[in-house]
Chains A and B, each alone.
Chain A
Amino acid sequence: MDVTPETVATAVSHVASARGKGTLPNLMAFARALKQLGIKVSLSQVLDASRSVELVDIGERPDFRALLRANLVSQKEDFPVFDMAFDCFWREQTYERMPMETMEIQGTPTESDAPEGGDEEGGLEEAASEAMANENLQLDNLDEFSVPTYSAQELMNRKDFSEMGVEESRAIARAIMLIATKIATQISRRKKVGRKGNTVDPRWTMRRSMKYGGEVIELVHRKKRIKKTKVVLLCDVSGSMDCYSRFLIQFMYGLQNELWGVETFVFSTSLSRITHLIRTKDIVNALEKISGSILGWSGGTNIGRSLHTFNRNFAPSIVTHRTVVVIISDGWDRGDVSLLEREMQDLKRRAKKIIWLNPLLASENYEPLCKGMQAALPYLDLFLSVHNVNSLVSLGRTLQKMVA
């Protein structure tokens, strides 16, 4: 949700009726306004806030702000929204006399773009209808997401992968093996029980000694265990990526069969899960299956919407703090950039690392200028080139450094 001074004013006006006399009702109303603006606030936090209000002189506005912020907000990203809402909700006059009857829309310091000169009710109505319109808009969007759309502009091509040479795929498979094992075998700090290792595990030593009548004969050690990092591949197969898709499908195939717990998805205008399609050791069959079943190959791109589908339907069950998400795309996006940014932010929060592989990065004078790529950049842990086997090998080295 994009938060502008207008949406803040709307949210504040929505809760106007809930305001009342005393601190707590006002705080509850404020918390509800924050919730509408996308800041999660729990009841216990509100109660603690009201408790702490008694501890400082709330005549000091900055202190009051710091107090509410520390209690109600728990991540830095929400600070700007909180500050806007704070300014709007606890305006000077409200602030001086807490209980207040009505809420005037115009004259709100943050609402600069609102039409001037209307009376109070007009302002309220307008804000309300605006909010309704916004809600309708969002509903429309939702419909669009849930129904797979096939428009005339989308090119439904069936790709033939059969011309892929055996030699070529072997070279790639070797490079992929290197990368895959690097990602797969991270040393964990957690230890597992074993015969060899550098620290003694007293619990298990005691246990084992039982069979010798309590005499310690065997020492049980703990050693560091290999931690499996999960990998999720999101691969762009739209028209602009056409010349790379042959290669990409190799990459996806190789990685998935080398690693435990890889999930593979392809996207263009919509997203499909192909993990089950390439779960086979037989690459020829796999390629046939994919080109046969994916619609929308070589069509347009809507990265934001695809990510949205991913975050909503798949990410909760697949992506954890041990998951590395690899996105392969050139970043040419025909969708909504702000949606893309939001979804990247969401994904970033869930995943351990996000790696973006961009085949265009290889060309000397490439700069990530297209809007989609720019929106995504701040959320990436790694932004790398992937256009031939050599670049894959260097990717392998980079990953090795990253997990070391």
Chain B
Amino acid sequence: MPDGRVLFAGGFDGERSLASSELYDPAITLSSPGPPLSAPRRHHTAMRPAGVDNVFIFGDAPERGFSRAHTRRTAGAELFVPALNEFVPAREIAAADANGKTTAHTEPHVTIAALDAEKQSARRQILSAYPEYQCGSRRSKIGAYTPRAVELKLIPS
């Protein structure tokens, strides 16, 4: 049974970067407030790998204003887990990403490239076991969800 809802996350409202989210149901064209992100994010990336329910969010989290030159970026990544209706933290992304460089990904595991324009180098990490970042197999195990299933591995440049 498809869900079909759309997760809106973060952004900029004209005055400040947003840590809020919304869940939009296209069947009834209604958007409702969702759980908060761990930090305001703008110009970030959200991805849901094939066959995975959760949405992986990483990237820029500027403080406020339009100017990228005056923004602060954080290195944290987080997952939206629909079964919990919560954002949960993942371990930190590469420090290079915290400095505001680019990211990309590959599958089946989520591999993230953080490319440092100043150092002309790349740091790559694998967010392994990501598909295991799901809820438990029994209804009663919804609380047995295990953040430790998410692990970041640094690949030498």
* A interacts with B: no
